[in-house]
Amino acid sequence: MQRKDIPSQNCQYIVQTPLEKDLPKTLSPAAASRVRAFHRQLPGYKPTPLVGLNSLARHWGVGNIFVKDESHRFGLKAFKVLGGSYAVARLVCRQLGRALGDVPYAQLVSNEVREQIGRITLTTATDGNHGRGVAWAAERLGQKAVIYMPKGSAPCRVASIRAHGAEVEVTDFNYDDTVRLACRKAKENGWHIVQDTVWEGYTEPPLWIMQGYLTMCAEAVDQLQADGAAPTHIFVQAGVGALAGAVVGYMAQIYRSPRPRFIIVEPCQAACFFASVAAGDGTPHPVTGELDTIMVGLACGEPNPLSWEILRDIPSCYVSCDNFTAANGIRILANCLPGDPPIEAGESGSVGVGLLDLLVNHSEFEELKTILEIGPDSEILFFNTEGATDPHNYREILWYGKYPSDIR
């Protein structure tokens, strides 16, 4: 393991030699097929685009850049609904005592099912996108949702959740303490919590959420294959790690030889996987404090243990980045080069592209670029996990240069 700090960019990275290990069957291609079969039944389902940025790739001296653009998912501008909807459906089927594969979506939303199980209350803690996905699913299934959000949550994100009929409370806590509040409220009131954080006795819904994200991964694989491409490098951002664990756990089973290099990207204010790997004892370590970052979807201090088993061993690199890296990613994707389509990327979806900009354009990152073998033959995949879910902040970044860097 090699660690390096780049103080001028408020950036740190760790590189390691990935381990060869068996990966969980719960994130296998067969599991992805079952998840996709559910999502394909949802009204409005269609695969989100895989956008090729050929001009940008040439400009940066790499083979290809692909962005899986989740800003188009179900009109909700974020991938999180994939995990939320799948977990809610599995939970309802558990109440019914039946397997999800045996209950068509049309039956799940029927009065018959509501009469069988009654009106249940779903609750979760969220910065916005996950809670909106849970509220969206509850609305369609005729169930109730109570959503807790950490302090500082953008009013527009609160409003977008309430628009689906959910009750929303903005707390005075950071994300991890808001999760604990939601858990306590669920126990006190007999509610069902739908969270991607694991604790003792609570592992099924977090796994279901991770599995829900396999639809996005499987779509990307199909789209890459249609383009005759296979990724050599996959950049994926991490909060609690449900997304990153799903992406790495699935993609490493699809692309076995050669396996892509996985680069885990986190905000420096909430880099719990970076801190856990840096500790070197093989166990996950939380980070504490305000977790104050514009990458609010990644502002999580406690690693998901289900993901940790994957993300500890398989990635080649872990990078913690400052806010300006994500802001630069937003600006790069929106202000495309001739021939490339613009992409609307939110703060948590853009950071990987912002990091690649540093790797290919700035001398302080030349060593890391060399170690990762990023060059003319590289086929690089990113997941833009959200669009402009906070339109005001998006405009501030794009129009007025909020969160500038001084690296030019």
What H or E segment, with its residue span, contains residue 320?
strand 317-321
Q: Are residues 326 and 194 in the same domain?
A: no
What is the rounded distance in angstroms from the CA atom of residue 215 to the CA atom of residue 211? 8
Q: What integer pLDDT is reported at residue 407 of this predicted model?
A: 57
Q: What integer pLDDT is reported at residue 169 of this predicted model?
A: 97
Q: Are residues 61 and 85 in the same domain?
A: no
Q: Are residues 278 and 161 in the same domain?
A: no
Q: Are residues 41 and 94 in the same domain?
A: no
Residue 405 lies in a domain: no
Residue 94 lies in a domain: yes
Q: Are residues 229 and 168 in the same domain?
A: no
Q: Are residues 174 and 265 in the same domain?
A: no
Q: Given 202, 235, 254, which residue is the final one in a domain?
A: 202
Q: Are residues 90 and 74 in the same domain?
A: no
Q: Are residues 357 and 234 in the same domain?
A: yes
Low-confidence ranges of the chain (pLDDT < 70): 406-408
Would residue 127 show up in a list of annotated catalytic residues for this protein? yes
Q: What integer pLDDT is reported at residue 406 of this predicted model?
A: 67
Residue 208 lies in a domain: no
Q: What integer pLDDT is reported at residue 405 of this predicted model?
A: 83
Query: Which of the following is catalytic: 68, 69, 77, 127?
Result: 127
Instruction: Count the domains in the chain.
Output: 2
For the whole model, what pTM was predicted? 0.97
Residue 408 lies in a domain: no
DSSP character string of 46-64: -PPPEEE-HHHHHHHT-SE
Q: What is the CATH number of the domain that holds 194?
A: 3.40.50.1100
What is the rounded distance in angstroms from the CA atom of residue 4 to the CA atom of residue 137? 43
Residue 352 lies in a domain: yes
Query: Which of the following is catalytic: 69, 80, 196, 369?
Result: 80
Residue 407 lies in a domain: no
Q: In what order do the strands lie in the sheet with 144-149?
A: 167-170, 144-149, 121-125, 192-193
What is the rounded distance in angstroms from the CA atom of residue 4 to the CA atom of residue 391? 35
Q: Are residues 279 and 381 in the same domain?
A: yes
Q: Given 202, 233, 263, which residue is the final one in a domain?
A: 202
Q: Are residues 357 and 393 in the same domain?
A: yes
Q: Given 156, 175, 202, which residue is the final one in a domain?
A: 202
Q: Are residues 68 and 117 in the same domain?
A: no
State the residue range of the domain holding 148: 80-202
Q: What integer pLDDT is reported at residue 290 of this predicted model?
A: 87
Q: Is 68 exposed, middle or buried (0-12, 13-18, 19+ CB in 10 A)?
A: buried
Residue 207 lies in a domain: no
Q: What integer pLDDT is reported at residue 79 of this predicted model?
A: 97
Would residue 402 show up in a list of annotated catalytic residues for this protein? no
Task: Calculate the CA dihedral of residues 211, 75, 383, 259 and round it to 10 degrees.
Answer: 40
Q: Are residues 227 and 366 in the same domain?
A: yes
